[in-house]
Chains A and B, each alone.
Chain A
Amino acid sequence: MTHPTTAAPDGSPPPGAASGTDAGTDAGTGTGNASGADAGRPRHRTGPRRPRTASSRENRAGLAFVTPTLVVVTVVVVLPILWTVLLAFQDARLVDIQGMGLLGDWSLRNFASVFASPGFWTSLWTTLLYTAGSTAGSILLGLVAALALRRPFRGRGLVRGSMLLPYVAPVVAVAFVWEIALSPQFGVVNEWGAKLLGWDDPVAFLSTRSYEVSLFGLDFELPLALLTVIAFETWRYFPFAFLFLLARLQAVPGSLEEAAKVDGAAPTQRFRHVLLPQLMPVVALLCVLRFIMEFNKFDDVYLLTGGGSGTDVVAVRVYDFLTARFDVGAAAAQALVLAVILMALLGLYFTFFGRKVQEERS
């Protein structure tokens, strides 16, 4: 709807009929506008023009307001991304990039070397495992937390506030706390593990590629460092899921659950058939958001393990290419491959699940 505001003088008076413009803007709808002031006017002349003027004013105002934001986003985000694409197809090293033109020699060499380089495919697989594990872990724990904290109790505000700490605290600080706590030499976890659980040897959580576990006579190989990093991500990001899920839970009308309760539905049934359908859209949204964030994650892994012991996610490899080898082209190519894979996965997700979510929402 065009509302009168849009016709308000923007500093310059509207061209032509200045009087009664405010009241006349609604003329486009043709209703309720037969005021005395307008009655004497030839409607056919001004009528069709006014709405166009109003909307074109709004159009101009909109463009004017959006321009600064658009310029900033273009300069700091869009152009760099486009440049990454260009760099990925060039043989670019940091030393000679100073004198290089925007368009150098094109080649696919970067991609060839990225795909052929040792460890790229395992790194991609690690990234996928890491992303899936962290996404699922943080959302599940967040859901459990939201369910536990949805009803008020004494001290809830305190617990709620403290639960957000992992998400708010700087990653460098909490990564070091974990590193020290898990240290085999002086870590509190190994110390208490030995005391309480009778661990024979200290466990090097962050530097063990695979850890043998015997369970019921079967031997398992656990990718321990990767699992630890996933646990860290789960811990750090469950508050994010918790916040969104709690907000949604509290918006679920109480009558829905009451009705199910009266019908004798057990809590698990109420959760499955009443709450979960209500939560699904938020869970789907969280899955997408967390997946994107984890897929591109650099700092957490880099700080905890430096990308060693089977935690070499692609983002850390990009960093290594950029800073250790100064191979800008290969780094850009890898970042681009990562982004394309992410887009493809998101595309798949939205083709298969997007519609389902839409249906559940309606």
Chain B
Amino acid sequence: MSDAPTTARRRPQVAFSRARFEERLFGVLRWVVIAFLALITLAPFYYMLLLSVKPIDALLLDPGQLWVSAKEFTLSTYDEVLKPTAEGGQGFLGMLYNSALASIGAVVLTLLAAIPGSYAVSRLRFFGGRQLSALFLAVYLFPATLLAVPLFVMFAKIGLQGSIVGLAIVYIAQTVPVSIYMLRNYFATIPVSVEEAAALDGCSRLQTIRKVVLPLAAPSLTATGLYIFMIAWNEFLFALLFLAATPENWTVSLGLQQLANGIEVSKTVLMAGSVVLTVPVVLLFLAAERLLTEGLTSGADKS
């Protein structure tokens, strides 16, 4: 872009050339930065994929090799990771099922818990509404470690320790603040007049929400649900605390970490496990990228 300021006639030569110089410099730097960012974000994932299809000998022989030859290419690592433990594998297929169960459970429970409250604080004026709205956000401030201790004890007490249901309940605590935040922002953008029209047509408030507001909020609900799913799928601390003693209920994250701690597991198998853990969540993200990023940052451009 040539942008010599034609209107400014007597501009000092120094400032003019500084602008030109910087314009050029940043024009080049921009591409350097983009290339650098693409490299640092993609390289680790390429490396993960690469190691997962290599035999361990090939890795140890030449750790710096950045490709895999057709001769060496193997999928036996995946075979080992996915096969049930009874057949000598690592049982990741079962763990995928556990992870899915815990994550979907968390999505359903959290959405059920978050929808009425976020609707109320964004739409209705009621006694203590503003304080509650603040409380829901303040929850965000409390560290997971602070919750970990009592939840650990509480679940040990009521016997939910080691169960996937228990884990899904714990995940509510992890996801409810951000869900309320996202949904509240979205509910606030639905015009009141839409609800008024429904009310004039004789809908009760519950009917209005079910038939008008929720369908309108469907994109936001999806985005929030996906976000909860990701948090739950990727979660590690609570899975470690609650499920470590019950291997049949391990989630993939936990199973992978335990696998790494175990003896005699080759790094290539570990990477195959990492790919198995990463692929579902990345696929979901790619399918709904726009929805997710907009759901998360809506409001940021106004703040």
Name A's B-contacting residues (CB within 8 A).
3-5, 8-11, 22, 55, 58-63, 65-70, 72-73, 76-81, 83-84, 87, 94, 97-98, 144-145, 148-149, 153, 159, 161-166, 168-174, 176-178, 180-181, 185-188, 190-192, 195, 235, 239, 243-244, 247-248, 250-251, 261-268, 281-282, 285, 292, 295-296, 298-299, 303, 315, 318-319, 322-323, 328, 331-332, 335-336, 338-339, 342-343, 346, 361
Contacts and interface: CB of A to CB of B under 8 A. Distances in A.
25 contacts: A3-B192, A8-B199, A8-B205, A55-B125, A62-B127, A65-B116, A72-B176, A76-B172, A77-B173, A80-B173, A81-B142, A83-B153, A97-B156, A166-B41, A168-B230, A169-B45, A169-B278, A172-B254, A181-B44, A247-B297, A262-B7, A296-B144, A296-B145, A322-B152, A336-B146
B156 A94 contact: yes
A310 B224 CA distance: 37
Contacts of A22: 200
B172 A298 contact: no
A81 B146 contact: yes
A68 B172 CA distance: 13
A266 B113 contact: no
A265 B271 CA distance: 50
B154 A83 contact: yes
Contacts of A63: 120, 126-127
A98 B38 CA distance: 52
Contacts of A268: 22
A172 B253 contact: yes
Nearest to A248: B301
A335 B143 contact: yes
Contacts of B45: 165, 169, 177
A73 B126 contact: no
A59 B205 contact: no
Given A165-B282, A322-B149, 12 more contacts: A11-B206, A72-B172, A73-B176, A76-B170, A77-B139, A83-B154, A87-B149, A170-B277, A173-B256, A188-B66, A264-B8, A266-B22
B124 A318 contact: no
Contacts of B254: 172
Interface string B263-303: 00001001101110110011001100100010011001111
A346 B146 contact: no
A188 B67 CA distance: 12
B236 A76 contact: no
User: Which residue, A81, A173, A346, has most C-beta atoms of chain B within 10 A?
Assistant: A173
Q: Is the interface of A mostly helix, strand, loop or mixed?
A: helix
B58 to A, nearest CB: 11
B88 interface: no
B117 A171 contact: no
Contact of B44 (A177, A190, A264): A177
Contact of B192 (A5, A8, A83, A298): A5
Interface of B: 3, 5, 7-8, 11, 15-16, 18-19, 21-23, 26, 30, 33-34, 37-38, 40-42, 44-45, 47-48, 51, 59-60, 63-64, 66, 112-114, 116-121, 124-127, 129, 132, 135-136, 139-154, 156-157, 169-170, 172-173, 176, 180, 192, 195-196, 199-200, 202-206, 208, 230, 233-234, 236-237, 241, 252-254, 256-257, 260, 267, 270-271, 273-275, 277-278, 281-282, 285-286, 289, 293, 296-297, 300-303
Contact of A339 (B11, B143, B208, B281): B143
Contact of B37 (A145, A190, A191): A145
Given A65-B119, A73-B139, A339-B143, A87 B150 contact: yes
A149 B117 CA distance: 37
Contact of B125 (A10, A59, A171, A361): A59
A315 B169 contact: no
A159 B205 contact: no
A181 B45 CA distance: 11
A221 B156 CA distance: 45
Given A69-B136, A250-B301, A235 B37 contact: no
User: Which residue, A8, A144, A322, A323, has most C-beta atoms of chain B within 10 A?
Assistant: A8
